[in-house]
Amino acid sequence: MGKPKLTIAIALLALAALATMMTITGYLVIGVLAEFLGTSRFVAGLLLGCVFARFPWIRNGKPCIVGLLPKLLRLPLMATLLAFCFVHFLMQSDVAAALCIGLTIAFVLGFSWLKKVLFARVSSSVFNFGARRNAPVAVDNTVIEGEFKEMKD
């Protein structure tokens, strides 16, 4: 990293763009859901908030998070809802809204992979000193290794 200030500025700019894109997508999804259900945006937003909400809870003496949807169902439902809105905007020939939702679908589906890759990258740079000690030494096949003993006359 030669220029840390530039790297930080680019990272903050990327995060701001991602936050803007996700906010616009949320607004678009709530609008499509409100239109589909025939209700106001407020009611559609409350409905989505209730479906995807998670609350802290204490179960068997341990803190956990509970929600209306099981953990394995949240991502497929979110991706399906986004895909429905993507198709809706494509049918209306609204390319800008469809592009925003398409980028959000790509981010939502690739987030777990991205998180794993970034964590591995950061942890390898932070904890690199411990991994090098136990790393196997590269063998050079061009070097002839031998053991010599001196004989006494």
How far is the C-alpha of 30 from the C-alpha of 97, rounded, in Å?
Answer: 13
> Can you read off the two tokens belonging to residue 153?
């006359």
Any domain includes 140: no
Range of the domain at 26: 10-126
> DSSP H helical segments within the chain, as ranges?
4-37, 41-52, 71-91, 95-126, 128-133
pLDDT digits (tens, 9 = 90+) for 100-127: 999 999 999 999 888 888 888 878 777 7
Compute the distance between CA of residue 115 and CA of residue 54 in angstroms, rounded to an integer. Answer: 21
Position with higher pLDDT, 2 vs 105: 105
Average pLDDT over residues 88-108: 94
Count of structural domains within the chain: 1
Q: Is position 18 within any domain?
A: yes
Say what the pTM is.
0.70
**Of residues 46, 54, 47, the one with CA closest to residue 70:** 54
> Is 83 inside any structural domain?
yes
Q: What average pLDDT score do residues 20-40 get?
A: 95
Average pLDDT over residues 64-76: 86
